[in-house]
């Protein structure tokens, strides 16, 4: 009997962890992770940098960053890079994406996350709409996940209907259409530039 129970447990673990998840399970998984992150965020008197680290540790495995790096270039531009350049691009882009995500953590105040039912977009894709609700407004967001070999992974995020991947796609397309690969890497490496422009005298 004990062996059967152990067997059942393993089976259950295998099923929940695996591609056998249906959209409701994906939704529950994502909700859990986001709830975990929010709990950390709301914890009083804790160092912000520690909080950020803990949140990134929870959120990071949910994203398929290498796939996102490919998608923002698109097949046309991605295949025009050498394997070394692809690797370099992936590293730089993923770094940029993560740091922009971490920056957003600072903006958090007392917002709640409201979930809406997941929408299956074909057998291997799901869209999970949600909203960030604060005291005076509601920002609609959506997570887009696909069925990877072992689990569902996020490949795009939408904020107010604006897809992050689409947005980067048109920017990189612009850079590579009107410029060169060197321009692309220069733009990516200068990511830590200040948000405000230089004083007018420097122009």
Partner 1 sequence: MLSRNPQRKIRQWLAAALGLAFIATTVPATAQDDPFADLDSQFETRQPQIADPLAPWNRLMFEVNDRLYFYLLKPVARGYKAVVPEPARIGVRNFFTNLEAPLRFTACLLQGKGQQAGHELSAFVINSTFGVLGFFAPARLEPALNNLPEEDLGQSLAVWGAGHGPYLVWPLLGPSSLRDSVGRAGAYFLDPFTYVDPSEADLIASGVDTVNATSLRLGEYEALKKDAVAPYEAMRDIYVQYRQRQVEQ
d(CA 203, CA 127): 45
To partner 1, the closest distance from the beta carbon of 111 in angstroms equals: 14
The phi-psi region of residue 121 (left if phi > 0; otherwise alpha if psi is between -120 and 50; otherwise beta) is beta
To partner 1, the closest distance from the beta carbon of 98 in angstroms equals: 12
39 vs 174, beta carbon nearer partner 1: 174
To partner 1, the closest distance from the beta carbon of 171 in angstroms equals: 4
Q: Which residues bind partner 1 (CB under 8 A)?
A: 3-4, 7-8, 10-11, 14-15, 17-20, 67, 70-71, 74-75, 100, 103-104, 107, 123-124, 135-136, 138, 146-150, 155, 160-163, 165-172, 174-175, 187-188, 191, 193, 195-197, 200
18 vs 57, beta carbon nearer partner 1: 18
- Residue given tokens 């795009």 in the structure block: 156
Nearest to 70 by CA among 93, 47, 54, 51: 93
In this structure, are residues 52 and 102 in contact, taking their beta carbons and an 8 Å threshold? yes
To partner 1, the closest distance from the beta carbon of 139 in angstroms equals: 11
To partner 1, the closest distance from the beta carbon of 101 in angstroms equals: 10
Contacts of 80 (CB under 8 A, 6+ apart): 176
Cα–Cα distances in angstroms (integers) from residue 176 to residues 120, 162, 179, 191, 195, in the given order: 34, 22, 5, 17, 23
84 vs 137, beta carbon nearer partner 1: 137
DSSP state of 63: B
d(CA 38, CA 51): 10
């Amino acid at each position: 009997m004990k062996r059967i129970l152990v067997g059942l447990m393993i089976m259950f673990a295998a099923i929940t962890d695996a591609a056998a998840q249906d959209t409701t399970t994906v939704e529950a998984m994502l909700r859990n992770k986001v709830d975990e992150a929010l709990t950390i965020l709301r914890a009083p008197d804790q160092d912000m940098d520690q909080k950020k680290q803990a949140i990134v540790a929870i959120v990071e495995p949910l994203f398929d960053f290498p796939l996102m790096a490919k998608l923002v270039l698109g097949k046309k531009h991605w295949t025009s890079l050498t394997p070394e350049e692809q690797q370099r691009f992936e590293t730089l882009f993923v770094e940029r994406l993560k740091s922009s995500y971490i920056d957003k953590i600072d903006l958090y105040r007392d917002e709640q996350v409201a979930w809406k039912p997941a929408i299956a977009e074909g057998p291997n894709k799901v869209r999970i709409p949600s909203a960030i609700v604060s005291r005076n407004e509601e920002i609609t967001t959506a997570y887009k996940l696909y069925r990877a070999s072992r689990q569902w992974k996020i490949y795009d995020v939408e904020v107010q209907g604006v897809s992050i991947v689409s947005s980067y796609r048109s920017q990189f397309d612009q850079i590579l259409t009107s410029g060169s690969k060197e321009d692309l890497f220069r733009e990516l490496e200068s990511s830590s530039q200040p948000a405000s422009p230089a004083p007018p005298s420097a122009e």
